[in-house]
Structure 1
Amino acid sequence: MTKHHPMLLFLGLALLALQPQIAAASRRPPPSPLCPKKCGNVDIEYPFGIGPNCSLSDDFSLECVHDTPQLRLGTDRQQCKDDNDPTGAPLKNSSWTGLDVTELPYRFSDEDNLFVTVGCNVLVLLSGEEEASVDPILNGCISTCFGDGSNIRNGSCTGAGCCEMAIPVGLKSYRLEFSGPLLFNNSWSPDNYNWCSHAVLMEAKSFSFERDYATTDKFFRNKNGTVPVVLNFAAGSEKCKDARMKDTYACVSDHSACVGTADGYVCNCRSGYTGNPYLPGGCKDFDECAPGNHWCQDGMICHNSDGGYDCLCPEGEHKSNKSGVLICEPDLKYKRSYLTVSAIIAIGVTGGIAIIVMSILSSYLVHQRRALADIKRNYFKRHGGLLLYEELNARKSNAFTIYTEATNGFDESNVLGRGGHGTVYKGRVAASDDLVVAIKRCKLMDERNKKEFGKEMLILSQVNHKNIVKLLGCCLEVDVPMLVYEYIPNGTLYQLIHGGSAGANSFASRLRIAHESAESLAYLHSFASPPILHGDVKSSNILLDESFMAKVSDFGASILAPTDEAQMMTMVQGTCGYLDPEYMQTCQLTEKSDVYSFGVVLLELLTGKKPLCLDGPDEGRSLSARFLAAMREDRVDLILDEQVKSEASGELLEEITLLALECLQMCGGDRPAMKEVAERLGGLRKLHQHPWTQDVVELEEVRCLLSGSPESISFEVDATCSSGY
């Protein structure tokens, strides 16, 4: 059900199927050998199954329809014009009850699905519930057609004939409601075509917009009434320790492991085993020595064992470690030869001396090697490496790596940046020369941080958000740990604002980067467990990838939310110009400290000015102080960037400057949460992308839509068009 689940089930969503009754999730006996193993070209693996008593429970029972495995969950909704009605009277609007998997072991994947609306001059509202919040969600998608419809293009789904949007994390239910067709004052007429509109939540990569989708029912016909949707699943809703006590525990195979998730647990085979952990005896030994799986160096003999393997040398050879690589070398062989007595004595003396010297040298080298190994082992234990290693093995995680060796390539020419927590270098992973990474060499840490480092790495390794720099692994066999991150090539937001190209510095780009950055911070505050505080939000800690998408970086071992007052009083960090004034007074780092720092970043994007200017008068050195003074004197337009003022509407600038003002409130309790900031920026971004909505909906009504109060919104409907069915 969460992003960390190792298995995803791709299911066909029947557009006209009935909502099933939810069955009790009790474990059944192992499936019969007669149960179907395939549907078309798709392998059906337990706990899923086709037919009675072929799945773990009724929740995992599939149907094979036209050689496609499907889980029937709900109905699609479309609205069409009735050409047979001579009066042209519209049918009454009706709402689609949507899909509800609250009581099922599934959640809609926010990474793989999107919400799509196709048609002309139609608004579809999506409401529902998400796992991490008790508050309902409400989003809207508007699809319009203007003039001769030339603005509708194949592959473009930005509001002209097609609208798409992402879905929230942990979405467990939703319903749709059509409102339209909307009446616009333009020359385009909806009477010239067979009017149909469609709305559906579906797999993102399966959707490619075609122009005819907006004006015909081709989209519905192409899909034969079905579209795929990606669901994340869990074997049970309990925590692992509770699930093991019940007879419904799904991890029944020997050598299986329970992996906890935010919503329950799933099962994996332990390291060295492969197969199906949901079946008795399903986890079999993985033969590392089989053809294609040979994990030993060339020339070595691979010996497989239960749950492991060993690399042996042929007879007459022995193992040797060359530069960290285990190889086989021939044994020394001595040949007999007939020598004179004097030669034998000379050779004996020389050989004896050589043997003594070699013995002393070998003993010294062995001692040094053991001492170095002991030092590395102690560092590994001190930084919590044992706990981290055991948990990663149990979790069967391939996304996080514990590196056992670091090269000496920390050259000044490879430095990407320096910060308060350490220096970042550009490097490559030895196992894959094509993988470029950023290696952060941490500064010295105190004893408390060293002891807690492994536990904190476990939490940080699970952070997975498209707008957060991914932590790939760490190296613990050194005095201070090194963190390995994905490499982000396009520099920092600070460089873009204060010296970047004009094209990438447009208002639309600035608003997008602000929204993406806010989304990442909201994820750290609201969805990470435990919550993570960044503590040093600034434009130089927001990186830009190949497409200039924002990636928040530089959060490490000091960012977990403090658990006691002693920790709060020692966590003084941050950057001048961005520091929360309340934090400066109390030394208490909170989520609202990140909100204040983000408000300063928002000012940088709006004004193009640096957060701190030491050349001016005292009262004008701080960008936030200048902004607050300008807001009080109603002259904020004097400090806004000229490009921003030329590209953004007055109403939009008013809203975004008010949001910045709220973020910069002196009292943290008066600031909005990052989740609210992200939602409001998302709404303003949509408003900037679709300025034509101001012809139909007043700005205050759009605010209501974004804040979840749809009752105040009204639309004028063309009386000649009918509603959906």
Structure 2
Amino acid sequence: MERFASMRVVFSLSVLAVLLLQLLLGVATAAAANCSTHCGNIGISYPFGVEPGCYHEGFNLTCDRSHKPPKLFLGDGSVEVLEISIPSGTVRINSSSIVPVSTSSAVGTGSVNKTGKYHTWGGLRKGGPFFISPYKNKFLVLSCSNVQVLLLGGDNSTVNACATYCPPAPKKGQPFQFPMRNECSGIGCCSAAIPKGYTSYSIQIQPANEISEFDAESSVYIAEEGSYNATRLIFETVSALPALLDWAISNSTCGTKPSAAPAPACRSSNSYCQNYTSYVYNGYQCRCNAGYQGNPYIPNGCQDIDECSHWKLHSCYGTCVNMPGTFHCRCPDGTYGNPLMEGGCIKIKNSSQGLSIGLVVSGGTVLLLLALCAPLATRKIKLRKMKKTKERFFKQNHGLLLQQLISQKVDIGERMIITLSDLEKATNNFDKSREVGGGGHGIVYKGILDLHVVAIKKSKIVVQREIDQFINEVAVLSQINHRNVVKLLGCCLETEVPLLVYEFVSNGTLYDHLHVEGPMSVPWDDRLRIALEVARAVAYLHSASSMPIFHRDIKSSNILLDDSLTAKVSDFGASRYIPIDQTGVTTAVQGTFGYLDPMYYYTGRLTDRSDVFSFGVLLVELLTRKKPFVHTSSNGDALVLHFVSLHTENNLVDILDPQVMEEGDGEVQEVAALAATCIKLKGDDRPTMREVEMALENIRVKKKHATLGTTSNRCDGDQIVCDYLSTRGITDESTRQYTMEEEILSSGTYPR
């Protein structure tokens, strides 16, 4: 009896469980049936939803039906949604403009409020799941107020910057010749890339002390690239522009193998997990497998693509047979050849009826073999696609141009181009543990290639200008052989962004060694030697290489040091060849604020004296141990202006590094005089890099003789060195040449 009683209890519980399950299914079905699928003309599908229970956490929307047609907003209704694309994982929003420069009441006199203005672009939930897409949007500034605009991330770190300039108005009777094209090159409009992983940005405006008479209303946007006309925006005020958001479905990651790792949010059987990583946020997204399309966040959401309905896209000019996740292409009956090429199937000439019967029989056999070999054919098609992709990237990244550049030296050509598979082996498939450096624009990996330790530079931003700089760096460094210039070993052009392979310089940068915590840093003797080595390298670039090369970005973070603190100049992405019969060239301004030559910034005219100015700033940095793009005096002067002012007053003790004053001797004043000469406002007043090298060489020789107890003439008979070591050029007049514009240029806070 007890046995029957227990069986009845089990049966009752089973019935109750079935009823509860049916009830829950009914509630879920009812909830799904009540979920909105549209708001106005915008479609809504999971993980998005309007009603409770219809969306994944963080993906709730608000449909404001008071508008005609209704408008859709993210979350509580602060950011308007224009379009949702589940397959591409993007949301297009309306991005409001920011009017950054507020003038004082005396607008007619051209005065403005010169203090920096801060504004915030936000509206997205902190910590995700939505982020501005870094590859599809631009940070856009339109102004004729000659402003410098800084973009700060959510953690208040500077992540990018750009500056605008407008030429003066034409005189009466002259035609209006505003140098405008439909792009943001810095004339009235500038743009910069958006870093990945932030939900809000702070925008700091630093206006100059003059406003052009043709100034339009200044504005700042974060907008989708290609959604605007830069020329029209200069003269028309637009309240908002479209911007594109990425999203991450979860704040966890897929693991080391994204394509194979299970993920709870990827609910379709034909979907996979893909990591979404940045310096400030890690998560993952879901994608449909190759050959499938649809919504990976719902069961059976990824559906097979019928490639045969779009046979031209897949280059099938024969008989197309659709298969799950792929397709098979063959020549029609009665033909033979290559069905993947137009006109590739050739008709078979029939000689007899028996031959036709034989072909039919053999055709059936071939079909059977094809069915058995379908997996092999699929693999071959994928390999062919990968090969075509690599070839496309190779051409896109100027691989043919690079081959032409090195064709005259076969030995260089054989070793310069490195395959992607070799670099993947060298870095363990670009493992995160192999990262040794990087910033907002790229990552440097340490690897072992042909039993040698190498450094591999990989850019994170897919912008054609960045790619052109990579190729430029290859072309420049392949022609340089100098002990104080980092050695380029090769490059890989089979990826979307090219990879460069250098000798591995193990001891970091001069910036890292100089700007350390505590009172002691690099010894003065080493600083003087490093300055001489850098001067030798730059002088070699200017006057000893086969074609003069202007570096354009000399700064302490671009000076690498090996174990013996020997300097090696690096980062030639902004460098330019200059024909021997020319003294300069007009280019778009590139470089780092704080080190940038003011005359080059204003005129766009690049000469060898532009590098001399940057080197002079580097000398000031070595003397003072202060950062050129950060330091400001109590009067608000930037480092260069502060240094020149104190040197003129013969009061450098207020700015020199105490360690330099303790370890140095009379040569400190000579180096300071040389630095002051290098950073003169007019390029013609500065020495050449060869003269700077000679002056530093003479200072080191005299210091060595003094150490050995000998004496020598101040200039050792070298009149050129004497001229440039004298302080006659640093006068009150030259100091007065520096204006607020130079101060702003010298106090920029973010490198190129």
TM-score by length of 1: 0.46
Greater RCO (CA < 8 Å, at least 6 residues apart): 1
Could you tell me the TM-score, scaled by structure 2's length?
Answer: 0.45
